[in-house]
Structure 1
Amino acid sequence: MSLVLTTASVPDRDKVAYWNDAVSRTLVPMTVTPRGDGPFDGRIATDRLGYLQVSTMEADAESVRRTPALIAASSDALVAVGVQVSGTATFVQDGRRAEVSEGDLVVYDTARPYSFDYPRRFATHVFQLPRHALGVPDGDIRRVTGRAISTGDGFGAMLLPFLAALASSPSGGYPPTVANRLAGNVVDLFATLIEERAHAERPDGGERGHLLPRVLDHINLNLGDPDLSPERIAHHHGISVRYLHRLFQAEGITVGRLIRQRRLEECGRELARRGRTAPTVSAVAQRWGFVSPAHFSRAFRDAYGVSPREWRGLRAAGDGLTAAPAVSGG
């Protein structure tokens, strides 16, 4: 059931103090200063969808500040997405100032100072989630804070009606497992929005051209590590797994398939070398990151049509093979 806090029945002299407490307890600690002289009116309704908190706030003109002192006194590390339902706002974070119009989205990090100035009565939806649940690099979040994201076209246009419907629908009827799954889907959409906007805000439009070669070099240098994975690669480069996969979309191959392909190629080359003391097939497989010899043999046969021992025998017989053929991927 939604929690609704309103100044409607609060004496005029206590409305501002009540509203400050209501907003700080519902969202995060902040100071709220009314911009008008008359009695203040505000209402905030909050619901939870798994680990996602959804709030709708309507109030008279006000200024909101999240100061370093308030941040130091609170332990929650949250990221918020605000949807301007009506009215306008001036939003400031990370040294940037954005004029927010009706229908615009803003992303902000509650662990860093920010402010909102609402010159007249307004309404806004606020979606808050734990910072760790987002799975987006800090750098990407910093690139989109302090900016208004238009929902006139692109991904924002698709996201806006969904968020509006979510904010207006009570979530109490969802079983916990359904609520958590739905929250995860919403968070994935937020992560996609942030990554899309962060990519657009990067000063170098050729970011992919610089990052992809570094990722490929890292993969080639660490093929022997059996724990090499998309998660480890993304963490090493300070990007999300989702963004890593996007880097490889144009390559026509997944990250996992590329790792396997490169390992098989190196194994094939090593098995094809002539020598008096050739390493065992198991030793070669282990050297290039295959934990299970049986799995390696199956993967090798699937790729080349012969077993590793047959491959070595063909090379020893002098059939002219000098290296493993490229493994087809997709």
Structure 2
Amino acid sequence: MAPLPPVAFATESVLAWQRVISSSFVPLTVDDLSDGRFAGTIRGRVLDDVFFARLRVTPHEVHRTRALIDASQRLFYKVTLMLEGTGELVQDTRRALMLPGSVSVYDTARPYDLRFADPIDAVVVMFPRDLVDPSPDHVRAITATSLGPEEALTRLVAPLLTEIAHDFTALEGPASTRVVRTAVELISALLSTAALARTDDHDREHLSLMLRIREYILDNLGDSELNPEGIARAVFISTRHLHALFHQQGTTVSAWIREQRLEAIRRDLADPLHAHRPISEIATTWGYPDASHFSRTFRQQTGVAPSAYRRAALEEARRGGGDQRVSTG
């Protein structure tokens, strides 16, 4: 996701609302259900490619049609926590009733429809699909389902998202990247648990194995000798099977390890609490003991040198990013 400025927007125009949510999230169309008395407000912050937003809107419909989906776009999940009002989500031939206190997930790579017959107050979180553990096929099993307070992890996720979206101050200051990481990890745990409960025995075994593999990799990212053979031994499968599992998800073991290491390094470089640490020390912590190799890899993946990335990220953290006021339309 390209960096987005903080959002603060209010309007009584359906077209203006459509423009701002399309630019803040992904391209969408909006239909008014309020008999011409439409009103909507959105406040939001983006940090570490994760967009948190609080929306208060009169009755309306939202559509993500196939024509609006560009295959070249980065792929995202959206999670909605309903605070007030009710809604209906349709995706993958399923229909979910969105009730206060419930969490619903949908995939921006496929069409979906949202209908809100009542005024709503909701928290929406959008994040890249590769930030969570379940594969797209496993998440597909829980799109357009309602994960209510009866789910233990919903009871953990809901208060955190509510607090973050209250005034977004949790996304400011030196601990902001850790807050985002915690939120995404809890959402990932919720999606994994829900997917495990809603898949058949074969898929459940497959997902459980992938979660064990990813957990092992994440626990050992700092080991520069981490390799497919050692990972396969640790989870009691063949190296060939391990490679096949990652191939099914459109990646390789080595590529996924590299992505996770670089993501961890980017987090630490952007974290003011780590500003005193040399870049080489951070790289070594996450499995890159060779400074020149790390620098080349980082530049290839991000387009900038590690030092330039750190300067820009820490400057952004210092600015704190007050709300950008958008004129009402």
Q: TM-score, normalised by structure 1?
A: 0.61
- Equivalent runs, 1:144-183 vs 2, <5 Å: 144-171=142-169, 173-175=172-174, 178-183=175-180
In 2, distance between residues paired with 1:43 and 1:145? Answer: 26
Query: Kindly tell me: are residues 194 and 50 of structure 1, through their superposed partners in 2, closer, same or farther at Cα, counting changes over 3 Å?
Result: same
The one of 192, 210, 226 aligned to 1:195: 192
The one of 27, 40, 53 aligned to 1:29: 27
Tell me, what secondary structure is at the counterpart of 2:146? coil
CA contact (8 A) 1:140 1:198 kept: yes
Q: CA deviation at 1:26?
A: 1.3
2:231 corresponds to which residue? 230
CA contact (8 A) 2:30 2:63 kept: yes
In 2, distance between residues paired with 1:159 and 1:104? Answer: 10
1:202-233 deviation line (CA, Å, top 9, x unaligned): 13389449976xx99xxxxxxxx963243876
1:111 corresponds to which residue? 109
Q: Higher relative contact order by CA 8 Å / sep ≥ 6: 1 or 2?
A: 2
Query: Kindly tell me: are residues 229 and 128 of structure 1, through their superposed partners in 2, closer, same or farther at Cα, counting changes over 3 Å?
Result: farther
Deviates more, 1:155-164 or 1:55-64: 155-164
CA contact (8 A) 1:61 1:120 kept: yes
In 2, distance between residues paired with 1:86 and 1:165? Answer: 15
Task: Give the number of the structure whose alpha-carbon radius of gyration is greater.
Answer: 1
The one of 47, 50, 69 aligned to 1:71: 69
Q: Does 1:87 align with 2:85?
A: yes
Identity in percent: 26
Tell me, what secondary structure is at the counterpart of 1:6? strand
Q: Which runs of 5+ in 2 are unaligned?
A: 214-225, 233-238, 250-329
The one of 6, 10, 14 aligned to 1:6: 10
Q: CA deviation at 1:133?
A: 1.9
Q: Which runs of 5+ in 1 are unaligned?
A: 9-14, 217-224, 241-330
Query: Kindly tell me: are residues 142 and 60 of structure 1, through their superposed partners in 2, closer, same or farther at Cα, counting changes over 3 Å?
Result: same
In 2, distance between residues paired with 1:168 and 1:16? Answer: 25
Q: What count of residue pairs does the alignment treat as equivalent?
A: 222
In 2, distance between residues paired with 1:75 and 1:180? Answer: 24
In 2, distance between residues paired with 1:74 and 1:132? Answer: 15
Q: CA deviation at 1:130?
A: 1.2
Q: TM-score, normalised by structure 2?
A: 0.61
